[in-house]
Structure 1
Amino acid sequence: MSKVSHKFLAGFCMGIAEITPGISGATVAGLFNVYKEFVSFLHVFSPFKFKPNLKYFSQEINFSFITPLLLGMIISVYLSAFAIDYFRNNYLYELKLILSAVMLIAVIKNCVFDQSLSDSFKYIFDFILGLIVAIVISFSLVELDFNNLFLLILAGLLAFTAFLLPGISGSLVLVILGVYGNITTAIKDIDVIFLVPFIAGMVISFLILPAQIIKSIKANEVKTKVFFSGLISGSVPAVWQHLF
């Protein structure tokens, strides 16, 4: 498979994951080994680093990487908005099994194949912390009235934050909040008025979070991966609890 095809497929699968409640697009990015480079791309737009000139963009952005990746994501998000209802309505049990299996494979990859199991075990408490955080997030959020503009912004912020953190599904957060159906319908109908405040929340998270993730990875990549693996593991029960 060519590098361009690999990046397009990675983006396509990330888009499917992000529109499907239960698995994070970041988890899939990790499986395709594009997570670190993807977050680095987002970090380029950090308000603490950004420089609005062509030289900055040409030096900082790997266009051969990000162009096929984003193209794959955009196409799959739109198509998946139509397909997800069919699978949820006709093959829900099988869908939950597949999502759970992919999430567990991601954990094994992070903790066993990306580094030795003994190195991962040194950070067992970080794994447990990630596990607890994911479980608390998955089971403590409540349904809110998202006709409110501020709450739509909040939903976008939480969803994109989850998108960037392997283990916490942005779509699952929307399911738990009770706005998932509204968002997928808005995507299918291209309802710009409804989507604008949601996207505004995503942009806020987009501008702030990548820098913190990059900082964490640089400080200790093994520790960060083990923590993310805890997040992924803790999200598996939520797939069965909230995906319906």
Structure 2
Amino acid sequence: MRQYIFTFLKGIAMGAADVVPGVSGGTIAFITGIYDTLLESIRRINPRLWPLFRQHGLVAVWQHINGNFLVALGLGILTSILSFARLISYLLVHHPIPLWSFFTGLILISILHILKQVKAWHTTSIIALVIGAVLAWSMTVLHPVQLPENNLSFFIGGAIAICAMILPGISGSFILLLLGLYATVINAVKAFDFGIIAVFAMGCLVGLLSFSHLLSWLLRKHRNLTLCFLTGLMAGTLPKLWPWKLADSQGVLLNVLPSTYSQAMQVNSQWLLAIGTALFGIAAVWLLEKVSKSDPA
């Protein structure tokens, strides 16, 4: 029971991260030590479960897919999204600087955490790191499109976003922003619009079951290269998380210094608060690492 409580709490942390555009629940899964377990459990959900069910029954199937782990984690993610959607939306509008600073600190220390797991460095490792960083950065500067708000769009959006959500560094919420679906989906969650939620969830399920097989295979066969690529993805999103931004004449948000932001907006830059919340993010990751060592779920 203690193990599943910890897994539930990790799910809450993942769900809270997934709500924020620019932060990935996959990052939380990685730093809490459940990333490989999550991918392997999802990968085992495939047509081969049917022969296993016929020969050994439902209990054997449930144990094979690590069902208790998936349910505990899924409940944590769902609880967090339903609980924190309003809070995160409020903080993004009214307290963006400390919120983005917190996640900047979280990502910075997470990058170091993942790099420690790279066993050997080669030229290909550095290339994979650079490719990941460039890919993630290029996604942050893409101009959003606006998909029509219908069931097909919600299904496709869910399938694409969930692939990003399980990748450390790529934000599923940011993908939804690029597709023009973020506001609708987050409002559906806040309003408990189960019609949109159900279609979106079906898309998530299809995308998750498909993409997890590829990612699990890469981590088993080419772990160092994959870890370097994933680290690059996380590093490439850091400019997106910079707390101080101003819009240029074209309406494009540009990163600026706190002093420049303060002069232009005629407000306090909150740089001391930003440092404090960034350090809090670093401390949160450190705490998650300690918890993970005591609970190798």
TM-score, normalization by structure 2: 0.74
After TM superposition, give the deviation of residue 55 of structure 1 in Å. 5.1
Is it true that 1:176 corresponds to 2:178 in the alignment?
A: yes
Amino acid at match of 2:107: M
After TM superposition, give the deviation of residue 97 of structure 1 in Å. 0.9
Aligned 1:26-45 pairs, distance under 5 A: 26-45=26-45
**Matched residue, 2:71:** 67
Structure whose alpha-carbon radius of gyration is higher = 2
Aligned to 1:51, the other structure's residue is in SS state helix
**C-alpha distance in 2 between matches for 1:34 and 1:121:** 27
Question: Is the Cα–Cα contact under 8 Å of residues 120 and 226 in structure 1 kept in the other structure?
Answer: no
**Matched residue, 1:236:** 238
After TM superposition, give the deviation of residue 139 of structure 1 in Å. 2.0
Moved more, 136-145 or 83-92: 136-145
**Matched residue, 1:25:** 25
**C-alpha distance in 2 between matches for 1:239 and 1:46:** 37
**C-alpha distance in 2 between matches for 1:50 and 1:136:** 39
**Matched residue, 1:132:** 134
**Matched residue, 1:102:** 106
Cα distance change on mapping 1:146 and 1:169 into 2, 3 Å: same
**Percent of pairs identical after alignment?**
26
Amino acid at match of 1:216: L
Amino acid at match of 2:100: K
Cα distance change on mapping 1:98 and 1:170 into 2, 3 Å: same
Cα distance change on mapping 1:14 and 1:143 into 2, 3 Å: same
After TM superposition, give the deviation of residue 228 of structure 1 in Å. 0.4
**Matched residue, 2:204:** 202
**Matched residue, 1:90:** 94
Structure 2 spans left out of the alignment, 5+ residues:
246-252, 254-297
Q: 1:227 aligns with which of 205, 223, 229?
A: 229
After TM superposition, give the deviation of residue 70 of structure 1 in Å. 2.0
Cα distance change on mapping 1:199 and 1:68 into 2, 3 Å: closer
**C-alpha distance in 1 between matches for 2:62 and 2:199:** 31
Aligned 1:145-156 pairs, distance under 5 A: 145-156=147-158
Amino acid at match of 2:50: K
Amino acid at match of 1:158: I
Question: Is the Cα–Cα contact under 8 Å of residues 141 and 177 in structure 1 kept in the other structure?
Answer: no
Count of residues paired in the alignment = 238
Amino acid at match of 1:72: G
Structure 1 spans left out of the alignment, 5+ residues:
none
**C-alpha distance in 2 between matches for 1:216 and 1:188:** 36
Question: Is the Cα–Cα contact under 8 Å of residues 21 and 239 in structure 1 kept in the other structure?
Answer: no
Cα distance change on mapping 1:72 and 1:149 into 2, 3 Å: closer
Cα distance change on mapping 1:44 and 1:222 into 2, 3 Å: same
Amino acid at match of 1:219: K
Segments of 4+ in structure 1 off by > 4 A? none
After TM superposition, give the deviation of residue 120 of structure 1 in Å. 4.1
Aligned to 2:237, the other structure's residue is in SS state helix
Cα distance change on mapping 1:239 and 1:143 into 2, 3 Å: farther
